Amino acid sequence: MTASSTSERYLAVDFFRGLTITFMIIVNTAGDWTHIYAPLRHAEWHGCTPTDLVFPSFMFIIGVSMWFAFGKYQRKWSSEVGWKILRRTALLL
């Protein structure tokens, strides 16, 4: 992998993001909701299942990705950063 200042890929981040999205799809299509594999259910109240770890993992990887993505802006807010965020949001919607 060649390092460039504008578009460097982090394989560990990409792998973890892909794994998290895969688990999101799996836990959201767990069956017909009358017969579900036990680890794909949320914990009733106390406890934790693999399903309960999907959303925190997603939020974690968003934060890590933003840290790397905003490195080219010295991780500081500017109007350029704001417009980039608004444009990306509009495109995604």
- The pLDDT tens digits for 38-78 are 788 888 888 888 889 999 999 999 999 888 888 888 888 89
Residue 1 counted as domain residue: no
Please check whether residue 64 lies inside any domain of the structure.
Answer: yes
Assigned domain for 26 exists: yes
pLDDT reading at 3 higher than 80: no
The amino acid present at 67, given as its one-letter code, is W
41 in Cβ contact with 47 (< 8 Å): no
pLDDT for residue 7: 59
Give the torsion sign (CA, 8, 76, 89, 20): positive
In a domain, 6, yes or no: no
pLDDT (0 to 100) of residue 36: 82
Q: Can you tell me the distance from the alpha carbon of 72 to that of 6, in angstroms, rounded to the nearest whole number?
A: 7
pTM metric for this prediction: 0.70
Point out the residues that are catalytic. Answer: 42
Domain that residue 32 falls in: 11-92
Q: What is the mean pLDDT of residues 23-44?
A: 83
pLDDT for 87 equals 93
Burial 41-57 (b: 16+ CB within 10 A, else e): eeeeeeeeeebeebeeb
Question: What domain count does the chain have?
Answer: 1
